[in-house]
Structures are given as C-alpha cells and as structure tokens.
Amino acid sequence: MTALTHNEGNVDMELSRRNFVKAAAGATGLLLLKPAASALAQNSQKQDDLAMLVDVTKCVSCWWCYAACKDYNKLPETIKPDPENPPVLSNDVWTTLMPVKSGTEWHSRKQACNHCTVAACVEVCPTGALSYNELGFVQYEKEKCSGCGYCAEFCPFGVPQLESSGVTSISLMNKCTFCKDRVSNGEQTACAAACTTGAIEFGKRADLVTEGKERVASLSQTNGKAALYGERELGGLHVMYVLDDIPEVYGLPSDPEAPPAVMARGLFKWLGVGAALAAIAGFGLNYLIARMRMVKGGNE
Amino acid sequence: MIEPRVIERFKKRTIWFHWVHTVAFLILIITGAILFVPGLGGVAAGGLTRVIHRIAVVVFVGAPIVYLPFNFKKSLHFIKETLTWGADDIKWVGKAPDYYFGGEEEKMLPQGHINTGQKMWQLVILITGVIFCITGLIMWFFRDTVTPGVFQWSVIGHEVAFILAFTMLLVHVYLGVIHPRMTESMRSMLDGKVSKHYARSHYGKWYDEISAREEE
C-alpha cells in the first residue's frame, strides 16, 4: 500500500480512507481509533501552522543551533561538536548537524524532528504522549511516555531516541519539542533564534513554503539539483529544507512513507473492538434463546 | 435433583496450572490492552506496566514448562489432540449452533474428554501462544538486531494474536461460566469433579471410556 506518499492525490485517497474509518467509528459509538481520528483532525496544514525552513546553502556549521537547543532544553553538554565526528541524535542531543561535502564545499543539514503532518510516531504512540499540536508540530509530552519505543521504530527519519535497558526497557523517548513553550508564546524556536546566518528560518508554514520556492528558483539558475524538501512529504513537514543536492546526500529519504504497518495497525484495532463487541452481543442473544428453548424443551 | 459430583475430570495439579496460567494471562491482557484504551494509556507512563507484563509472561511461559515434565504423557496427548482434526469435528461444527442455542441434547454427537469447541480454544492458545512468544521475544530482546520492518510487523503480529486469543477467551469464559447448558463446567475447574449425568450428557465418549475402565 503506497499510502502517505508525497503525491497529493494519494494523500487525498488516504484521507478519504480515514474518513471512512471515522464514519465506522461513529457508527459503533466508540472512538478507540485515536490515531486515525487525530490525523483526520489535522489532515492538512492549517493556515497558521508554524514551521521552520532550513537552507543548507546558508549554513556555515557554527553549531549555534546545537548549543541553543542544549541550553534552552537544559540538556547536558556531553560531546564537543566536531565536524569530522559530529554528534548524532541521542537522548540529550535533540538537534545536530549532518556535515556533507557537496563538490568542494562543505554544507551541513540541521537534523532533528521534522514534525510531519501525517506522523507515523503519533499514529503508533499508544499513550498519547505524541500528538498533533494545533500549531502543526508534533507535540511530545514526556510525562505520558511509557518508553515502548514504537515511535523510534516507525519514524521514517529515525528521529526519536530511546535508550532502553534490555530487561525492563524503562527509558523514555526524547526528541525535538519544537520549543513548545516558546512558540506558544509567540517566540521563535531556540535554534532558529540562535542561527547566525538565517539558515534556519521560523514562521508561518505557508510563508516559508513560498520563500523556500523562491530560494530554490534562484539556486536553480546555477544548480539543477536544488529543491525544496518537505512541502508535500508525509502530508507536509513542519521542518522544510532548501537542498542543493538530492535528499539522500543529506540523509533524507527522497520519498518518505509512513510504514504500511501503521495502517494495518489502525485496521486491526477496529477488528479487535468489533470482534469483542460481536462476541459479547452474541452471548446475550445466545443466553436468552438457549435458556428459553431449554426451559420449553424441559431439558434444562 | 442434585446429583453427587463423583467423577474426576481434572487433577489438582491441572487445576492449579489452569488458574496460574489464567492469572498470568489476565495480567498480560490488562497491562497490554491498557495501551489501546483512550485515556487509560497514561497508566503505562513510566513503563511500569511493561515491567509487570514481562514478569507475567515469565509465569505464563514458565507454568507450562514446569507442568510438562510432571505430566508428560498427558501434555503430549493434549498437543496431539489439539492438532488432530477429523470428520467428527466437522460434524460437530454442523450440530453446534442448535446445541448451543438450547436444542435437544441427544442430537449432539457424543464427545471425548474435551469437545471440538474446546479443541478450537486449545488450538487458538497454541497458535497465538507461539505468535506471542516469537513476536514478544523480538520486541523484548532483538529490537536492536532486527530491521525496523520486522519490529513493526512484530507489533502487528502481537496485536493480531491478541485479538484472536482475547475473543476466544471471552467465548471460553462465557461457555464455562454463564452458558445455561454448562452447569458444572466452572465448578469442575475448581474441585475437579463432575456428576455422572453431566459427564454422560456432555462428554459421552469419555464417560463410556472411563466407565469401561472402571469395570475392568
């Protein structure tokens, strides 16, 4: 099943399937399929969705975004950011740079949660710790996390980080929070505010799409590979990238998809609820009829 | 008329095994299914329920492992019986709706120590048990070894097995405890005994076998 591709037509099909699932939910009066319902409510970016636009051609690898993220989120400084051996995403690294040599030049792609519109992590999160914020980003409430790690296994970008102890697996997930406290109060994300060159821009998603396209148009005059990444991918990312090479060079899949298992999961959830309800209704009916016939037949 | 319940249907250790397994399974169900009930998912926050889930599974898998060597022949018979299906089982399925909806007792085929329906339940336990164990082991121990795809389908496999096992558990509990025809079923799982009448009418073949054995 090729649901959730960057092709808009497919997104529409996907959404109508979700509509159907939701209608079925209403019919049984049970809204247990939280993921489909929540995705439906957020199925496309709204006008005031917030986002970031990361322009790799403007990044000079100063690591201020990395430092600002650590500072604002009070994460311990454990690794010295070294371009030769850059820190990777981990429990205390929520954003980092991925240095890439492009021709003779070095560029870095800022790497963190991309805040998908149709986010596999939200769909599979059993406890509601991951959810869609009304401002568009993927909100994470750590106090609700059970540490199951499904998000880490289903994310097409490998963003959520989880250190698990082999026996108990007690350990909570960590990822970029989109600086919820800041952006809810009209401030920029810490990384965008710290960016020295304007490589990370923060603003309304709609404006940033326009701006990203303009940047790509101007880059395209000298570079045929320039492209805007994230406009449509996974329903539209809330962190988009102006790239000067194919996405894979920057560690981004060119056609990211939420794993098909996500959809299968939504379906089976309803199958489970349906089977249990059918069984219980069947018992009631069976009891009444069996009892009546047995009394009548005197073979009680 | 109350008949004395004199026929031994289950041995004490089998009853113990049944209830230890039951309690472990209920804990597994509660700590697992809680993740899917909106509003209750938060109970899992912090991961304590997962630890309980893992302790319970040790009991759930450990119980049959402990039981098996002490009841080796019986256990082998149980597995063989569960996997052997024949024309009589198909006939049973044809007659089951009328029987379970209160039709005449005599129309039902005489059954052995367990009937075809109970065999279905045993089969579901065996099959889902294997699926639960394989997918559970992957998620518990091999998260870092397997590909994300394998992990993802393990999650689904675990959930599908749950749907199957849980639905059949509901049927098992309903028939054992509530169904108007199964008057001695639950008590036989507590003290191991049923009356002659119950044995004859519910498990005719088995009753004939044990009567013949007694006469010898």
A148, A134 Cβ separation under 8 angstroms: no
What is residue A229's predicted lDDT score, i.e. its pLDDT? 97
What is residue A267's predicted lDDT score, i.e. its pLDDT? 81
Residue B57 inside a domain? The answer is yes
Residue B46 inside a domain? The answer is yes
CA-closest candidate to residue A83, choices A69, A97, A95: A97
% of chain A at pLDDT higher than 90: 55
What is residue A30's predicted lDDT score, i.e. its pLDDT? 37
Position B38 confidence tier, pLDDT thresholds 50, 70, 90: low
- pLDDT over threshold 60, residue A44: no
Compute the average pLDDT of residues A122-133.
90
Amino acid in position A92: D
Range of the domain at B54: 7-73
- Tens digits of residue pLDDT in B61-114: 999 999 999 999 989 998 999 999 999 999 999 999 999 999 888 889 889 888
List of chain B residues whose C-beta atoms are within 8 Å of the C-beta of residue A127: 35, 41-42, 44-45
What is residue A166's predicted lDDT score, i.e. its pLDDT? 57
Cβ contacts of A110 within 8 Å, gap of 6 or more = A54, A59, A65, A95, A96, A97, A98, A191, A199, A200
The ipTM (two decimal places) reads 0.82
Contact B178 A287 (CB under 8 A): yes
Contact B141 A149 (CB under 8 A): no
Cβ contacts of A104 within 8 Å, gap of 6 or more = none
Residue B30 inside a domain? The answer is yes
Q: Which of B47, B54, B159 sits opposite A268 (nearest CB)?
A: B159
- pLDDT over threshold 90, residue A186: yes
Compute the average pLDDT of residues A205-231.
95
Contact A299 B104 (CB under 8 A): yes
What is residue A145's predicted lDDT score, i.e. its pLDDT? 84
Helices and strands in chain B, H and E counts: 9, 2
| A166: number of Cβ within 10 Å | 9
- pLDDT over threshold 60, residue B214: yes
- pLDDT over threshold 60, residue A263: yes
SS percent in chain A: helix, strand, coil, step 5: 40, 15, 45
What is residue B173's predicted lDDT score, i.e. its pLDDT? 96
Q: A99 has which bridge partners?
A: A108
Q: Which of B35, B100, B156 sits opposite A268 (nearest CB)?
A: B156
- pLDDT over threshold 70, residue A31: no
Minimal Cα distance from A37: which residue of B?
Answer: B38
A246 touches chain B (CB under 8 A): no
Our CA-based measurement puts residue B95 at a distance from the nearest CA of chain A, in whole angstroms, of 14
CA-closest candidate to residue B210, choices B43, B19, B9: B9
Nearest-angstrom CA–CA distance, B2 and A156: 66
Mutate to test the interface with A, among B3, B29, B36 (most CBs of A within 10 A): B36
A184, A178 Cβ separation under 8 angstroms: no
CA-closest candidate to residue A177, choices A189, A163, A165: A189
Compute the average pLDDT of residues A167-172.
62
Report the mean per-residue pLDDT for chain A: 83
Contact A290 B36 (CB under 8 A): no
Residue B68 inside a domain? The answer is yes
What is residue A9's predicted lDDT score, i.e. its pLDDT? 42
| Measured distance between the N- and C-terminal CA atoms of chain A, rounded to whole angstroms | 53
- pLDDT over threshold 50, residue A40: no
CATH topology of domain A33-247: Alpha-Beta Plaits (3.30.70)
A129, B45 Cβ separation under 8 angstroms: yes
A191, A200 Cβ separation under 8 angstroms: yes
What is residue A34's predicted lDDT score, i.e. its pLDDT? 41
Contact map slice: A 266-295 vs B, CB within 8 A: 268-269, 271-272, 275-276, 279-280, 283, 286-287, 289-294
Q: A139 or A170: which carries more pLDDT confidence?
A: A139
Could you tell me the residue ranges of all domains in chain A?
33-247, 259-300
A163 touches chain B (CB under 8 A): no
Residue for token pair 């920057």: A250
A291: its two tokens: 């009892």
Nearest-angstrom CA–CA distance, B185 and B195: 11
Compute the average pLDDT of residues B110-134.
94
What is residue A7's predicted lDDT score, i.e. its pLDDT? 42
A299 touches chain B (CB under 8 A): yes
- pLDDT over threshold 60, residue A20: no
- Tens digits of residue pLDDT in A157-167: 999 998 766 55
- Tens digits of residue pLDDT in B145-188: 899 899 999 999 999 999 999 999 999 999 999 999 999 999 99
What is residue A74's predicted lDDT score, i.e. its pLDDT? 94
Position B1 confidence tier, pLDDT thresholds 50, 70, 90: low
How many domains does one find in chain B? 1
What is residue A169's predicted lDDT score, i.e. its pLDDT? 53
Write the DSSP symbol of residue A255.
S
DSSP states of A217-247 as a string? HHHHTT-TT-EEESSSGGG-BSEEEEESS-G
